[in-house]
């Protein structure tokens, strides 16, 4: 590939750039961003080859465009690139939700929607910004692509190769399946952690409560330190699946509450055993 344009050179966009440079996958990487200071930082760190504020210049001769900005900016970015797209340019994104992104791309890109491949790299992101970018962020990590029946096969192949060059394991599924899966295993836990900390922080004795919180609390709430704007966008973008997950979880909590109210020791132990066995099996399978 000759020219890659990255919108949003933060943790994700910056790490892609570093990995592709190391793999010699691209000859030139252009960064486009909201703020000049972060682009300057990306240039200084050697993450990108050039920074551009003029979209026409940035896209001239571009083989692939990666949108790695916050999800809520996707529509505006697609609108800004639409007039300058070449016929062969492939477009992909790195957003945590896919149904909303595909809908936006379909609306904005029209006939060129077949060159858009939705993507989601599953890589930890509690730190943000280009200074947190790492060349090995995606090694061994899952990347899910969500092509539709309309998507051009060469476009899918280009995006697959990009992520494989970063060391990732690429799979494909419909956007709806993706959003359902991540509502359960990522978006719901984030909301539960935010909710617990907010619940405790609002109390008159919050300082005393926090002073006795220990390592279990630390790990459980780590994801409550995540980026508020990003999680606002995800919560809204994946609204339907997330509301389903919250409802299912509330039923589970009601069941647990009932077991405690009934002083049902056997029922509690059975629930805790199912959970601990499943959790430890999962953790062991991941370290293999």
Query: Among candidates 67, 75, 128, which has minimal Cα distance to 94?
Result: 67
- Taking the CB of residue 285, how many other CB atoms lie within 10 A of it? 8
**What tokens does 90 get?**
């492939």
Shortest CB 94 distance to a second copy, Å: 14
33 touches 128 (CB < 8 A)? no
Q: Which residues contact 233 (CB under 8 A, 6 or more apart)?
A: 70, 71, 72, 97
Shortest CB 216 distance to a second copy, Å: 4
Helix, strand, coil percentages, rounded to 5, for the chain: 60, 10, 30
CB nearer a second copy, residue 116 or residue 182: 182
Shortest CB 33 distance to a second copy, Å: 21
Shortest CB 4 distance to a second copy, Å: 25
User: Rounded CA gap, 164 and 264, in Å?
Assistant: 50
CB nearer a second copy, residue 23 or residue 181: 181
Shortest CB 195 distance to a second copy, Å: 5
CB nearer a second copy, residue 157 or residue 270: 270
114 touches 155 (CB < 8 A)? yes
**What tokens does 249 get?**
């979880």
Shortest CB 168 distance to a second copy, Å: 12
Shortest CB 89 distance to a second copy, Å: 29
Q: Which residues contact 179 (CB under 8 A, 6 or more apart)?
A: 97, 98, 99, 238, 241
CB nearer a second copy, residue 87 or residue 288: 288
CB nearer a second copy, residue 153 or residue 283: 283
Query: Among candidates 97, 72, 95, which has minimal Cα distance to 179?
Result: 97
């Amino acid at each position: 590939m000759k020219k890659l344009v990255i919108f949003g050179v933060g943790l994700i966009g910056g790490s892609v750039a570093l990995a592709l440079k190391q793999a010699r996958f691209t000859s030139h990487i252009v960064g486009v961003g909201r703020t000049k200071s972060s682009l300057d930082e990306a240039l200084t760190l050697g993450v990108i080859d050039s920074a551009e504020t003029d979209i026409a210049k940035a896209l001239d001769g571009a083989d692939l465009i990666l949108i790695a900005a916050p999800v809520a900016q996707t529509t505006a970015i697609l609108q800004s690139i639409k007039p300058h797209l070449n016929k062969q340019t492939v477009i992909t994104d790195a957003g945590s939700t896919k149904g909303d992104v595909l809908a936006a791309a379909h609306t904005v890109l029209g006939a060129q929607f077949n060159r858009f491949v939705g993507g989601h790299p599953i890589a930890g992101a509690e730190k943000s910004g280009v200074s947190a970018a790492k060349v090995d962020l995606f090694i061994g990590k899952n990347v899910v692509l969500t092509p539709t029946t309309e998507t051009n096969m060469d476009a899918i192949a280009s995006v697959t190769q990009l992520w494989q060059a970063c060391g990732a394991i690429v799979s494909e599924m419909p956007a709806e399946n993706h959003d359902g899966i991540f509502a359960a295993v990522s978006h719901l836990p984030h909301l539960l952690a935010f909710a617990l900390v907010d619940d405790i922080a609002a109390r008159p004795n919050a300082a005393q409560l926090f002073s006795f919180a220990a390592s279990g609390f630390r790990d459980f709430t780590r994801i409550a330190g995540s980026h508020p704007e990003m999680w606002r966008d995800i919560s809204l973008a994946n609204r339907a699946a997330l509301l389903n997950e919250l409802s299912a979880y509330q039923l589970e909590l009601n069941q647990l509450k009932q077991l405690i109210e009934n002083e049902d020791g056997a029922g509690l132990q059975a629930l805790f055993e199912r959970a601990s066995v499943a959790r430890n099996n999962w953790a062991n399978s991941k370290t293999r």
